[in-house]
Chains A and B, each alone.
Chain A
């Protein structure tokens, strides 16, 4: 059974940093691209970032480019999202989502339950 478990969310002040983790199990983690998707309160889903299976390709939404950094440790089956220069508008539930291929994600077939990030003074 595929399981994705996010952690690392919490309350942070504007301008601060936070690192999210996603522990994966139930599939060959190193064979699939992975994604972060977020949902702000009362809003829809927003794709944030993706990383290829080997970690050599990283991709970002314009809204987070230059501030967020995605990475993975295939030896630990774990995905990360380093979030710097956080803004109030980054407040959201952040979901880890498994992609359908090694390099390109055309759909996310499994999702975690999310971790809440609140940016507020």
Chain B
């Protein structure tokens, strides 16, 4: 169960768009349409932002979108706002009732 690969950092100015990648293998990201993304402000509970690659839970702004191609999934944040500054983690179902997470990406709003 190797961790998914995410860039350690990403940044953008308010109003811009930023995309965070998440690379796995055919045993996780590429094998299932069960990629999810979480926003985590340190000291708080992680928050589900995207599930099943592209779906948004109720209450998550449509500025957040997800996609997947092969073994790589992506989270795009459009119209960046100051409150979007946080750590973002991808996750994938990895079979045998297990999940695998990425190492996290720190998003900075300049």
Query: In whole angstroms, how far apart are the Cα atoms of A35 and B44 in the complex?
Result: 17
Query: In whole angstroms, how far apart are the Cα atoms of A109 and B91 in the complex?
Result: 12
Q: Is the beta-carbon distance between B47 and A45 smaller than 8 angstroms?
A: no
Across the interface, B45 reaches (CB within 8 A) one of A45, A46, A114, namely A114
Query: Distance in Å from the Cβ of A33 to the closest Cβ of chain B?
Result: 8
Query: Distance in Å from the Cβ of A49 to the closest Cβ of chain B?
Result: 9
**Complex interface: chain B residues within 8 A of A47 (CB):** 1, 91, 98-101
Is A26 positioned at the interface, with any CB of B under 8 Å from its CB?
no
Is A12 positioned at the interface, with any CB of B under 8 Å from its CB?
no
Q: Is the beta-carbon distance between A35 and B57 smaller than 8 angstroms?
A: no
Q: Is the beta-carbon distance between B97 and A45 smaller than 8 angstroms?
A: no
Contacting A at CB under 8 A, from B75-99, are 89, 91, 93, 96-99
Residue of A nearest to B40 (CB): A45
What number of residue pairs across chains A and B have CB atoms under 8 A from each other?
82
Interface size, B (range): 20 to 34
The 3 closest A-B pairs by CB, nearest first: A107-B36, A44-B103, A106-B34
Known contacts A35-B99, A46-B3, A111-B47; 14 additional CB pairs below 8 A are: A4-B45, A37-B101, A43-B103, A44-B102, A50-B97, A50-B99, A57-B97, A61-B98, A95-B46, A106-B32, A108-B46, A111-B45, A112-B45, A113-B44
Footprint of B on A, CB under 8 Å?
4, 35, 37, 43-47, 50, 57, 59, 61-62, 95, 97, 100, 103-114
The 22 listed contacts between A and B (C-beta, < 8 Å) are: A4-B45, A43-B103, A44-B89, A45-B38, A45-B101, A45-B104, A47-B1, A47-B101, A57-B97, A59-B98, A105-B99, A106-B52, A106-B93, A106-B99, A107-B51, A107-B91, A108-B99, A109-B51, A109-B57, A110-B45, A111-B47, A113-B44
